[in-house]
Structure 1
Amino acid sequence: MPRTMTVEARAAGSGGELRKDSAAMNQQKIIVGYDGSPAARAAATWALEQASRTAEPVEFLYAFEEPLWMPAASMVPAPAVRPPADLEQSVSAMLDQLVATARQTHPGVQAEAATVRAFAGLALIDRSDRASLVVLGCHGHSAVAELLGSVSAAVSAHAHCPVVVVRGDAASSTPVLVGIDGSATSAAVLRFAAEQAAARTVPLRVISAFPPATALWETGPVITRSVTAEERKPFDDLVGELRAAHPEIEITADAVVEHPAAALTRASASAQLLVVGSRGRGLVRGLLMGSVSQHLLRHSACTVAVVH
């Protein structure tokens, strides 16, 4: 992974640069990938609301990618290229305004902004091992989006902490939705979803989707079937443990016969947050082969949290 070339930070309301000590660098925080786009502004708002519930600091991270992505210059030896001064000044003013506004709208949240000279996805993955959450908009500006896939896809596949991709505009009273598949990550996914539902004082809906039976060939008809009691038992046991641990949450559980991507996409229309797991099987496979979580990042009607 390329080393971040430089890091500059501003604290909310300070208007100047900060030198971060080792204790601050190791503090768990919510990191927001920020580029000034409408989607990034939505992500910033979501992160500040989350931080107001958890009392965690928020860092808005802007990546200067343009000087790194210069195919013509990369063919010959050349000195390092810095962003133009006017661009740096524009970004600095944007971030100062962002943290000042955050201080006004969420006075109880510690907010700061930082810049890096690195590809956005790689910078966020690198910093995610010091974060409780990475929050992204569903669309953003990236110089290498078409080369490696979207930033959200790369970060959600390889981050060291849960990744939230903000989508839609669901009402705050709608449930938290969680999809589990019986894998080893299911308990962690359920735990994260329950914490989110409890913090929002909304119901939690749990879905486990079992694949339908099909004929021998893909072109054959789908054979209707039901989920057997034996298939449901691990799912029911997990939900039972969840209800015992969180009696304060209204929990509903559904075991359906349907492709999980289709079932969760449909259910997301009536939820404010969809929580799923990630199996992270490597950069190429994760980005090119696709998965349930990657499908939901593109098609969910609500915000998606991918839990590692």
Structure 2
Amino acid sequence: MHGSTGDDCVVLAGVDGSASALHAAVWAAAVAARRDAVLRLVHAYVVPAPGVSRISVTTVREGFRSRAESWVAEASAAVLAQWPSLRIERVVVEGSPVGVLLRESAGAEVVVLGSRGLGGFTGLLVGSTAVSLVAHAQCPVVVVRGRRPDDVPAVAGPVLVGLDGSPDSTDALGYACEEAAARGTTLIAVHTWNEITPEGRLRLAGSEADVAAERRLVDEQLAPWRDKFPELAIEVEVVRGRPVRTLLERGGGAQLVVVGSRGRGGFTGMLLGSTSQALLVHSACPVAVVRQGSRS
């Protein structure tokens, strides 16, 4: 965790006036309340270059800022309706949304975003923008969504974490343990395997020895976390199949899915190309992406 006390613990939420971002702000507020943290609501906007219009740049800039402030105020009101004593900071700034969020992430516990939005955050989860944010953010990034993008996210069910033995998935496991413990729910560790090993070896489908070896890998990765969180109920699922498909299926009844930003074996390139888009676009619950070292 970045902050050791409530005074320096910040949960960051991107706000853009969309229903999706509003759900994300409320979701982030619940995290901040559990951690006795400050909720920082952030909106960044880029003023377009002047064209042939007679409207002055100053007028356009004032309009953008006024709209941004109203969106942040709306999100703040929604949060305070549920957590009236929560400490809230409002940040409205002209600049690249991704650049602003990356800068703000340096002092945050987590960055929370809606799955799609309007205004400055439009397209935040499309292509290189999402990869850039997740690859460089200095804390975990959570994309909040329900079964459909604008649905209210689930607040019940277990926390799922995808494991493959890599350092990134170990950091993801630590974050998942913290979240499951704070929420008073079960943690389900999901590990997938198929006929091709990470070393490129072809193995017999369904081999009991291979399944047992995969289970040992998960148990070894879990061991120190079971000791650190002795009261946390941890279940293990070792499944033959593809990681994204498996997590999407299991995530239907979960309140959070946690993955590392990249791994090995089945989870290699989790956030590159179509694999990441499948999880972020189709997950039925919020998805947390934890980059190695981002929880230090």
**Which range, TM-score by smaller chain?**
0.7 to 0.9
Cα separation, partners in 2 of 1:34 and 1:147, compared to 1, 3 Å: closer
How much does 1:89 deviate?
2.4
The CA deviation at 1:204 is: 0.7
Number of equivalenced pairs: 264
Amino acid aligned to 1:116: V
Relative to structure 1, the CA distance from residue 147 to residue 128 in structure 2 (aligned partners, 3 Å threshold; closer, same or farther) is closer
Query: Given the alignment of the two structures, is residue 44 of structure 1 paired with residue 25 of structure 2, yes or no?
Result: yes
The answer to which of 175-184 and 164-173 deviates more is 164-173
Task: State the match for 1:140 in structure 2.
Answer: 117
Instruction: Name the CA shift for 1:291/1:235 in 2 (closer, same or farther; >3 Å).
Output: farther
1:299 aligned partner: 282
- Secondary structure of the structure 1 residue equivalent to 2:191: strand
Residue matched to 1:197: 180
Superposed, 1:101-180 pairs within 5 Å as: 101-141=78-118, 145=123, 149=127, 151-168=129-146, 169=152, 171-180=154-163
2:15–2:71 CA contact under 8 A, matched in 1:
no
Judging changes above 3 Å, is the alpha-carbon distance between structure 1 residues 123 and 83 closer, same or farther for their aligned structure 2 residues?
Answer: farther
Cα deviation, residue 194, structure 1: 0.8
Query: In the aligned structure 2, how far is the partner of 1:294 from the partner of 1:274?
Result: 14
Structure 1 residues 81 and 102: CA distance shift in structure 2, 3 A? same
Q: Which runs of 5+ in 2 are unaligned?
A: 1-6, 147-151, 198-202, 264-268, 292-296
Residue 85 of structure 1: aligned partner: 62
Amino acid paired to 2:38: P
**1:306 alignment partner, SS class:** strand
CA distance in 2, matches of 1:287, 1:213: 17
- Distance across 1 between alignment mates of 2:51 and 2:194: 49
- Per-residue deviation at 1:35? 0.3
How many angstroms apart in 1 are the aligned matches of 2:238 and 2:270? 28
RMSD: 3.2
Aligned residues with identical type, % of pairs: 36
**Structure 1, unpaired ranges of 5+:** 1-25, 74-78, 215-221, 281-285
**C-alpha distance in structure 2 between counterparts of 1:206 and 1:247, whole Å:** 15
Distance 1:106 1:298, change over 3 A: same
Q: What corresponds to 2:192 in structure 1? A: 209
Bigger shift: residues 193-202 or 242-251: 242-251
Residues 240-291 of structure 1, C-alpha deviation per residue, up to 9 Å, x if partnerless?
33223222121110111211111111111110000000139xxxxx899427
State how far apart, in whole Å, the 1-side matches of 2:125 and 2:76 are.
Answer: 31
The letter of the residue matching 1:128 is S
Distance 2:228 2:272 in 1: 37
2:200 alignment partner in structure 1: none
Query: In the alignment, which of 245, 250, 253 is matched to residue 262 of structure 1?
Result: 245
Change (3 A) 1:88 1:174: same
Q: Distance in 2 between matches of 1:147 and 1:192?
A: 22
TM-score (norm 2): 0.78
TM-score (norm 1): 0.75
Contact 2:158 2:185 in 1 (8 A): yes
Higher Cα Rg, which structure: 1
- Name the SS of the counterpart of 1:302 in structure 2: coil
Instruction: After TM superposition, give the deviation of residue 120 of structure 1 in Å.
Output: 1.0
